[in-house]
Amino acid sequence: MEFDELQKIWHSQTNEPLWVINEKALYKRILVKKAKASHITNFSELLVLIVYAGAGSLIAGLNYVKPKPNLMLYLMAAWMFATALYVLVSRIRRIKGSHAFDRSMLGELNYAVSMATYQVRFSQLMRWNIIPVGILSLWGVWRVDQSVWLVLGIVMVFILGYAGGGWEHRIYIAKKRELEALQRKLMIGL
């Protein structure tokens, strides 16, 4: 069989589609999908922003009204505001950057890779950020309350948070590698 013949076989289906569309089911699914449209990156960015800005305000406010304010808690609040600000700036830059890709397959793949790179970096930074926040929290608690159990409890929470962050980070790395493999296949033409 030569290629022209393959093409003839191929065109035979154009006038007689092999499937019909259940339009009712299709519209229902689109509505379900639209409801789930908030992308994971958007969600995690907004969540981190709200949590850090909210926790920073709460810590600073509570510390301020205390008779003897704790310097460590002010430092922690400042660190949290700085993190929230960093996330906000990154988010704005990410959204602006998303318009720089064309609508070809390679352009879309490049965009997907850049999003995956952003997610990898973001999850890594948020994971590392647990360390200074944990140290400042422990320091603040240690100065106020000498209970060893409370300190141990806080240490456990931060260790679990760090481990959970690692798990999330590995998911993003795997996704990024997969996209990069596709990108390489498209670019090298082998």
* Among the listed residues 14, 67, 146, 148, the single contact to another protein using CB under 8 A: 14
Least distance from another protein to the Cβ atom of residue 26, Å:
5
Where is 56: in which H helix or E strand? helix 40-65
* Among the listed residues 38, 67, 68, 103, the single contact to another protein using CB under 8 A: 103
What stretches of 66-189 show up as alpha helix (H) in DSSP?
71-97, 105-144, 148-188
Q: Is residue 116 close enough to count as binding another protein by CB under 8 A? A: no
* Among the listed residues 54, 58, 102, 152, the single contact to another protein using CB under 8 A: 102
186 close to 105: Cβ distance less than 8 angstroms: yes
Closer CB to another protein, 38 or 146, in the complex:
38
Q: Is residue 28 close enough to count as binding another protein by CB under 8 A? A: yes
* Cα-only R_g, the chain: 25
Q: Is residue 107 close enough to count as binding another protein by CB under 8 A? A: yes
Q: Is residue 175 close enough to count as binding another protein by CB under 8 A? A: yes
Q: Is residue 112 close enough to count as binding another protein by CB under 8 A? A: yes
Structure tokens given for 91? 């988010």
